[in-house]
């Protein structure tokens, strides 16, 4: 082992921690700007940054293992949950897989039989069919993506909870997030009130699945969910600055007036204005769930404050904040807000008439059929249509409008209860160390808990945590809360406390303390290499989408054919890996089928498109045999090649898997 001096030893460790913090902060800040990180290329890019941050932290633990991990029980529980998700991806014999997920095995058997009957096995890679082993997850490729995201969230939490060593770090991280969010909210409100291109994000980006666009998110509820957390962080920074005001407050009124011109006073005013803007934007978003969650969380915090020593000051802050938020909301336009909130009366009178309640009820049917380990994380949209009741009609639902219900449906009782245990450990850590924390740390943590409670309530009404930008910010908040609550009076300094703690004599190598993070680091490196491979294909998919938009506009035959050829090159790159997204492949097959029927494209190229559509749609069905849309496009690809009998077989299978009452046809004729 190298013989570091105390200064060199401390400096190297600080470099690791500083780099890990900055990378984790970068991931949290850029995630919402990448259109909520909802697209594969965006969330994979952010996950790579988060994995690099976690890798640096693990490397520091390998080199300097003497410092214990914060919230160890919580971290171990979250790792255990990741192992359960990994267990969904392990291939086991079919007779064992039937115990956990009989539908997957049966769907795979039906798929293999139909593929052999149609001769589709000729266009698939060798060895894809007749496998006697299956995964517990219904759609393993979707679970791969979910695993990447969960590791990214865990990385942000672990780095923030362990690599933050002083109050200066907390102020810097919080301020950076708030400044970025302030700019985002200003642009979002300007876009909303401008009335220009309301279906686009920030006037220029057309999302793949458009909705009620607000800010960088495709859904106003997800934007409001993000603002709930930002609002609590602004409130935390505001309240934690009050001890500094009291310390600097002077008795003479002339000195008090002069103090108003100080830097601290200016910061307080800016934070207060940002706090009011964030709260007003939640109301202006017209998200009923966010408004109700904000009000309920405010009531809970009010009750908690009434039992603390700081109840008078806390109530004054709450009343002032509420007054500022309401005043700014009225100024920007109160009529749509009150009209939207008035619609809650109908929901209260008949809760089951609300679509969210119906989706939650149907989602729990998945838990009934997959009680142990669920249907597989990320596979909801490929399995839910089978359970979709007549009340929901023919709509396509990518997520349950209830994050808690979807957690249990995709992870089963084991994963769901493990997450609840992790949540219990989190609040136990906060409650245990809260009395010993410094005063401003207690105020900061109290406000963060306010935001966490609000988003927990909101998660019963929407699927906002399935927008990676929201989940990354929530992970950062939990990490900040754990790090802050551990700050005792000894840490009450803006100087990096690592300098004082680094004056230990470096102990001898501890095999156990170094071996565990080393093994985790190796596994993380393997996972990161897979993420980079998936990111490469996701970027190719975006280039394919650009070629698709170009093909719709190009009139020159030569340019059109060259553009189609370049799109086919991207298709070959996308389907070359072993972890292709079935949804991505299905969208590609739909475009290839349409292009093969276009008379503008050269006839030889159209034949190539038809053959490629058959290959891609077959892969889509192979990876997601329970998705009726995959079977439908496979049938259409068969018909394009003149295989009407095979197309009819695919159509019959699609009808078996479709939502109740939905009429599916191969082609619509005018």
- Residue 627 belongs to some domain of the structure: yes
Q: Is 428 a residue whose pLDDT tops 90?
A: yes
- Residue 511 belongs to some domain of the structure: no
Q: Is 544 a residue whose pLDDT tops 60?
A: yes
What whole-number distance in Å separates Cα of residue 235 and Cα of residue 38?
Answer: 27
- Residue 543 belongs to some domain of the structure: yes
Q: What is the pTM of this model?
A: 0.90
* Rg, the chain, Cα only: 27
Specify whether the CB–CB gap between 384 and 366 falls below 8 A.
yes
Average pLDDT value for residue range 543-547: 92
- Residue 572 belongs to some domain of the structure: yes
Helices 311-333, 288-305: crossing angle, 10 deg rounding: 160
Any residues with CB less than 8 A from the CB of 303 and at least 6 apart, and which?
none
Name the β-bridge partners of 135.
91
- pLDDT tens sequence across 271-285: 778 888 888 888 888
- pLDDT tens sequence across 58-97: 998 888 876 677 888 899 999 999 999 999 998 888 888 8
- Residue 558 belongs to some domain of the structure: yes
- pLDDT tens sequence across 561-618: 999 999 999 999 998 876 778 889 999 999 999 999 988 888 889 999 999 999 999 9
CB atoms near residue 117 (< 10 Å): 12
Q: Is 669 a residue whose pLDDT tops 90?
A: no
Q: Is 499 a residue whose pLDDT tops 60?
A: no
- Residue 266 belongs to some domain of the structure: no
Q: Is 318 a residue whose pLDDT tops 60?
A: yes
E-strand ranges in 300-370 read none
- Residue 62 belongs to some domain of the structure: no
What whole-number distance in Å separates Cα of residue 533 and Cα of residue 639?
Answer: 33
φ/ψ (deg, to 5) at 170: -65, -45
- pLDDT tens sequence across 375-418: 999 999 999 988 887 777 667 788 888 999 999 999 999 999 99
Closest CA to 147 of 410, 516, 469: 410
Closest CA to 169 of 497, 503, 485, 443: 497
CB atoms near residue 512 (< 10 Å): 7
Alpha carbon of 72 to those of 79, 158, 503: distances in Å? 10, 10, 24
Q: Which of 221-230, 319-328, 501-510, 623-632 has the lowest mean pLDDT?
A: 501-510
pLDDT at 534: 92
The b/e string for 124-154 (b: 16+ C-beta within 10 A; e otherwise) is eeeeebeeeebbbbbbbbbbbbbbbbbbbbb
pLDDT at 261: 54
Closest CA to 359 of 403, 323, 325: 403
Q: Is 502 a residue whose pLDDT tops 60?
A: no
Q: Please, which pLDDT band fits residue 670 given cuts at 50, 70 and 90?
A: very low
The tokens of 606 are what? 């159209």
Average pLDDT value for residue range 341-350: 62
Instruction: Give the domain CATH number at 555.
Output: 1.25.40.10
Average pLDDT value for residue range 531-553: 91
Q: Which of 3-17, 31-45, 441-455, 599-613 has the lowest mean pLDDT?
A: 3-17
Sort residue 101 into left (φ over 0), alpha (ψ -120 to 50) or beta. Answer: beta
Specify whether the CB–CB gap between 458 and 228 falls below 8 A.
yes
pLDDT at 264: 61
- Residue 589 belongs to some domain of the structure: yes
- pLDDT tens sequence across 168-214: 899 999 999 999 999 999 999 898 888 888 888 888 888 877 778 88
Name residue, tokens 């299905």.
586
Q: What is the mean pLDDT of the chain?
A: 83
- pLDDT tens sequence across 477-498: 999 999 999 876 434 433 344 4
What whole-number distance in Å separates Cα of residue 24 and Cα of residue 440?
Answer: 24
pLDDT at 506: 42
pLDDT at 339: 72
Q: Please, which pLDDT band fits residue 248 given cuts at 50, 70 and 90?
A: very low
Specify whether the CB–CB gap between 648 and 635 falls below 8 A.
yes
Specify whether the CB–CB gap between 213 and 200 falls below 8 A.
yes
The total of structural domains in the chain comes to 1
246 or 296, which is more confident? Answer: 296
Rounded percentage of the chain residues whose pLDDT exceeds 70 = 82
Closest CA to 275 of 226, 233, 221: 233
What whole-number distance in Å separates Cα of residue 447 and Cα of residue 234?
Answer: 9
Closest CA to 581 of 616, 613, 546: 616
Residue 68 burial (C-beta neighbours within 10 Å; 0-12, 13-18, 19+): exposed
598 is in which domain, residue-wise?
A: 537-657
């Amino acid at each position: 082992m190298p013989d570091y001096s105390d200064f060199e030893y401390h400096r190297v460790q600080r470099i690791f921690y500083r780099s890990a913090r900055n990378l984790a902060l970068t991931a949290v800040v850029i995630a919402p700007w990448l259109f909520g990180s909802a697209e594969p290329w965006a969330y994979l890019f952010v996950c790579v940054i988060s994995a690099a941050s976690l890798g640096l932290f693990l490397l520091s633990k390998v080199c300097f293992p003497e410092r214990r991990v914060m919230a160890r029980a919580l971290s171990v529980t979250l790792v255990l949950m990741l192992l359960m998700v990994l267990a969904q991806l392990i291939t086991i014999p079919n007779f064992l897989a039937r115990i956990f997920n009989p539908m997957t095995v049966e769907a795979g058997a039906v798929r293999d039989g139909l593929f052999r009957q149609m001769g589709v096995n000729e266009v698939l890679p060798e060895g894809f069919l007749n496998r006697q082993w299956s995964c517990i997850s219904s759609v393993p490729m979707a679970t791969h993506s979910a695993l990447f995201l969960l590791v990214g969230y865990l990385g942000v939490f672990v780095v923030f909870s362990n690599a933050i060593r002083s109050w200066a770090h907390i102020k810097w991280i919080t301020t950076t997030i708030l400044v970025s969010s302030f700019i985002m909210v200003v642009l979002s409100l300007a876009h909303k009130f401008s009335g220009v291109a309301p279906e686009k994000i920030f006037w220029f980006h057309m999302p793949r699945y458009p909705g009620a666009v607000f800010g960088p998110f495709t859904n106003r509820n997800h934007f409001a969910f993000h603002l709930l957390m930002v609002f609590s962080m602004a409130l935390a920074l505001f309240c934690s600055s009050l001890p500094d005001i009291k310390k600097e407050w002077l008795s003479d009124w002339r000195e008090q007036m002069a103090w108003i011109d100080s830097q601290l006073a200016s910061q307080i005013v800016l934070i207060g204005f940002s706090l009011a803007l964030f709260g007003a934007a939640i109301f202006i978003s017209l998200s009923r769930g966010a408004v109700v969650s904000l009000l309920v969380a405010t009531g809970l915090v009010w009750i908690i404050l009434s039992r603390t020593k700081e109840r008078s000051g806390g109530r004054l802050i709450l009343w002032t904040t509420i007054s500022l938020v309401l005043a700014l909301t009225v100024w920007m336009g109160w009529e749509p807000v009150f009209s939207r909130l008035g619609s809650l009366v109908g929901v209260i009178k008949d809760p089951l008439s609300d679509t969210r309640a119906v989706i939650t009820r149907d989602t729990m049917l998945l838990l009934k059929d997959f009680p142990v380990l669920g249907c597989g994380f990320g596979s909801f949209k490929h399995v839910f249509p089978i359970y979709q009741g007549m009340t929901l009609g023919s709509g396509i639902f990518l997520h349950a409008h209830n994050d808690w219900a979807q957690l249990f449906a995709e992870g089963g009782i084991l994963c769901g209860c493990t997450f609840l245990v992790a949540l219990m450990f989190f609040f136990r850590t906060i409650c245990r160390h809260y009395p010993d924390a410094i005063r401003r740390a207690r105020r900061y943590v109290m406000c963060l808990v306010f935001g966490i409670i609000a988003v927990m309530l909101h998660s019963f009404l929407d699927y906002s945590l399935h927008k990676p930008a929201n989940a990354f910010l929530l992970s950062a908040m939990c990490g900040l809360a754990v790090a802050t609550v551990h700050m005792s009076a000894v840490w009450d300094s803006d100087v990096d406390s690592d300098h004082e703690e680094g004056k230990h004599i470096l102990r001898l190598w501890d095999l156990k303390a170094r071996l565990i993070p080393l093994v985790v680091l190796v596994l993380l490196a393997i996972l990161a290499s897979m993420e980079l491979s998936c990111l490469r294909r996701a970027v190719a998919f975006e280039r394919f989408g650009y070629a698709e938009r170009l093909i719709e506009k190009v009139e020159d035959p030569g340019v059109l054919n060259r553009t189609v050829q370049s799109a086919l090159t991207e298709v070959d790159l996308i389907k070359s890996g072993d972890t292709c997204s079935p949804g991505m492949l299905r969208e590609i097959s739909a475009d290839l089928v349409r292009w093969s029927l276009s008379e503008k494209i050269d006839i030889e190229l159209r034949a190539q498109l038809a053959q490629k559509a058959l290959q891609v749609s077959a892969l889509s069905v192979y990876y997601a045999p329970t998705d009726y849309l995959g079977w439908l496009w496979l049938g259409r690809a068969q018909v394009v090649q003149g295989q009407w009998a095979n197309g009819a077989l695919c159509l019959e299978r699609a009808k078996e898997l479709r939502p109740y009452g939905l009429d599916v046809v191969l082609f619509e004729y005018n």
